A and B are shown apart, each in its own frame.
Chain A
Amino acid sequence: MATVPHELDALVRREYQHGFVTPIESDTVPPGLNEDIIRLISAKKREPEFMLEWRLKAYRHWLTMKEPHWAHIHYPPVDYQAISYYSAPKSKQDRPRSLDEVDPELLRTYEKLGIPLREQEVLAGVAVDAVFDSVSVATTFKEKLAQLGIIFCSFSEAVQNHPDLVRRYLGSVVPYTDNFFATLNSAVFSDGSFVYVPKGVRCPMELSTYFRINAASTGQFERTLIIADEGSYVSYLEGCTAPMRDENQLHAAVVELIALEGATIKYSTVQNWYPGDEEGRGGIYNFVTKRGECRGANSKISWTQVETGSAITWKYPSVILRGDNAIGEFYSVALTTNRQQADTGTKMIHLGKNTRSTVVSKGIAAGHGQNAYRGLIKMTPSADNARNYTQCDSLLLGDKCGAHTFPYIEVKNPTAQAEHEATTSKIGEDQLFYCMQRGLSEEDAVSMIVNGFCKEVFRELPMEFAVEAQKLLGVSLEGSVG
């Protein structure tokens, strides 16, 4: 009988859209890690003494640490001495001062990725900082933002021009001793984005950083620091891609968010690092530490992430709810296909009174993908009347993939409440057949069902990116059935 064979266990054959390499001359330090390399990185960036000291403290601490292995992921040992810790496009002497000085090859790269850096072509209402390998290559709309007192620049520039802010806030949420990968990042981080929104200012546009790993055998260690001063608001988005290479590449970033009294930070990620091929060769190891602190009362931090890339994703964007009435949110879609592995979730640490947190996690596993949600909800003794609601749903496509849920709930205050709901479902032959009986193709049916599953998360994304995320999910699932 000639019906379409739609065995759901048929594997994902997906084309990675951003796998090209930009032929560009790079200034790359030799592989290996020691104090000299760290001094070299710091010197290349002409950093003040306090930065070098901080890096060296982190490095010395890192030497005492062991790579963590508690996550539900498996990979061969990483040789930290085989990685190059700094790579930058060779530009004339210094970083370019304006877009006109940016290497046209780089601009073309970002255009290919759909991230135009020329301001007149830029999506209205989005300012972009582009980080290529280890350095920020361009930041748009800087002047316009400066009129409002908003600082949006590369981390390196912030170290030069706003050392007091950096000194005051760097490591105040993720200390250099925090964990193996964050400590490594603290020692060797090369660049990243810096945002400061002054008191009472509502940032009028989306701020966005676009990360691109290009060079081979390098790690990317960027550091993002966002400070929202009292009563301010900022929405920030990051996107990430990398070329297709056979070897694994390490990405160990740190993101710190600080929301002071009455401030709101909305942080959205669309992560599409190269995931490796069907056999699991190559791909990015994404070991990322992201944490925000609602330092003041009535502040709010909201994380939204769409994770479709990387061979391994290990990240737990978290919120420390210190101020009273603070709100923490985490909305996540994580998709694993082929041999991808994701162990992701969040930590909501309730310290203040009447603090509230919401966690909505949607895991989708296809092919041989392994998808784990790991979350900690902690209500400390001071967290009177704190509330948490957690919902984590898993969707399986086929029968060779896996979904796992590891919720940790610690409630040490009798007036605090935590709710946890979890579901696991298989994308049903019934659902597919129903859609196809109505005339939809199988791929449209899968994409419709998966998008429906993720709806609660997508509606948290800024509009331009929600469309992007849906498309990305569609592309990632192409050929996942059939």
Chain B
Amino acid sequence: MLDIRDLHVTIDGKKILHGINLRVNAGEVHAIMGPNASGKSTLAQVLAGRENYEVTQGEILFEGHDLLEMAPEERAREGIFLAFQYPVEIPGVNNIYFMKAALNAIREHRGEPELDALEFLQLVKDKARLVNLDEALLSRSVNEGFSGGEKKRNEILQMAVLEPKLAILDETDSGLDIDALKTVADGVNKLRSADRAIILVTHYQRLLNYVVPDYVHVLSGGRIVRSGDRTLALELEEKGYGWLEGGAPKRVAEGVRP
């Protein structure tokens, strides 16, 4: 589904990613871990099409198409979803209205009929139960006045509504207490499916106790320095990132399948 080849990225002339290779297939859950400033969020932003990042080398294929040629909204309509690390507040814009506009933009792109208000309301209520989000938040402005946990759950709700092919969760666990973390993880698990790929970007191992990944990659200094299965995450928790940062990369993850 997603094929990242030798990806080099700079921002404001500063090089962040130094040749990333990663393949993600439908049905897989990949965790991308790494210390602060290792380039994890950059990778997530580049996949979603944030404009101030410059790709200086390499390519990204999404379902065989050149992703870098696509505008952010095209990527979204093709099925790429980014759960933001810091979800944005949009005052005065009703949460349901926002999600309905987004879903209908995607449906239009797929040649499907728009959902009317009633159909959408039913859909969103069902999905809200799935992620255990208080229905009252549906009629508020997008993320405005939401607590940190509510914002993250609202991201997962949007993911459930938009049903992406590839979901990228950028530090969705950060700032959550254990109960909120479990709720979010539960929501993500319910959205795992054979035709959907998920990339979890996280600093900590603890999310992976609840959402068990198929693969774990460690990003450090803009490179994937180690890939493995979930035991790699546990090892990291025990030894810290210093363990990998110091030494030479043991297995550079070019299509690595442990």
Contacts and interface: CB of A to CB of B under 8 A. Distances in A.
Interface in A421-478: 428-431, 433-442, 444, 448-449, 451-456
B69 interface: yes
B49 interface: yes
A453 B99 CA distance: 18
A456 B93 CA distance: 11
Interface in B100-114: 101-103, 105-106, 109
A3 B54 CA distance: 10
A6 interface: yes
Interface in B24-80: 48-51, 53-55, 68-73, 75-77
Interface in B71-94: 71-73, 75-77, 81-82, 84, 87-93
Interface in A42-95: none
A8 to B, nearest CB: 11
Nearest to B87: A434
Contact of A439 (B54, B73, B93): B73
A428 B88 contact: yes
Contacts of A440: 73, 101-102, 105
A3 B45 CA distance: 12
A461 to B, nearest CB: 15
A438 B98 contact: yes
A313 to B, nearest CB: 23
B93 A4 contact: no
A124 interface: no
A456 B91 CA distance: 11
Contact of A448 (B68, B77, B90): B90
Nearest to A448: B93
A441 B48 CA distance: 14
B158 A438 contact: yes
Contacts of A436: 49, 71-73, 76
A382 B161 CA distance: 58
B162 interface: yes
Interface residues of B, number: 37
Contacts of A433: 48, 50-51, 72, 88
Contact of A435 (B89, B90, B91, B92): B90
Nearest to A455: B92
B110 to A, nearest CB: 10
Contacts of A429: 51
B93 A449 contact: yes
Given A1-B68, A436-B72, A439-B162, A452 B91 contact: yes
Contacts of B101: 440, 444, 448
A41 to B, nearest CB: 46
B53 A452 contact: no
A161 to B, nearest CB: 46
Contacts of A439: 73, 76-77, 102-103, 105-106, 109, 162
B127 to A, nearest CB: 15
A23 interface: no
B98 A437 contact: no
B90 A3 contact: no
Contacts of B48: 433, 437
Given A434-B84, A437-B72, A440-B73, A1 B90 contact: no
Given A3-B49, A4-B71, A437 B93 contact: no
B88 A438 contact: no
B103 to A, nearest CB: 8
Contacts of A456: 92
Nearest to A449: B90
B205 interface: no
A2 B73 contact: no
Contacts of B75: 437
Contacts of A452: 90-93, 141
B4 to A, nearest CB: 14
B93 A451 contact: yes
A2 B68 contact: yes
A5 interface: yes
B51 A6 contact: yes
A431 B73 CA distance: 13
A433 B91 CA distance: 15
Contacts of A455: 92
Contact of A442 (B68, B69, B73, B103): B73
Given A434-B90, A452-B90, A452-B91, A441 B68 contact: no
A455 B162 CA distance: 26
Interface in B197-244: none
Contacts of B68: 1-2
Nearest to A445: B73
Given A435-B98, A438-B102, A439-B105, 11 more contacts: A4-B73, A433-B72, A435-B90, A437-B48, A438-B99, A440-B73, A440-B101, A441-B105, A444-B105, A448-B93, A449-B90
25 contacts: A1-B54, A3-B50, A4-B73, A5-B51, A6-B51, A431-B89, A433-B50, A433-B51, A433-B72, A435-B98, A436-B49, A437-B72, A437-B73, A437-B82, A438-B102, A438-B162, A440-B102, A442-B73, A448-B93, A448-B98, A448-B101, A449-B93, A452-B90, A452-B91, A456-B92
- 4 closest A-B pairs (Cβ-Cβ)? A452-B92, A452-B93, A438-B102, A455-B92
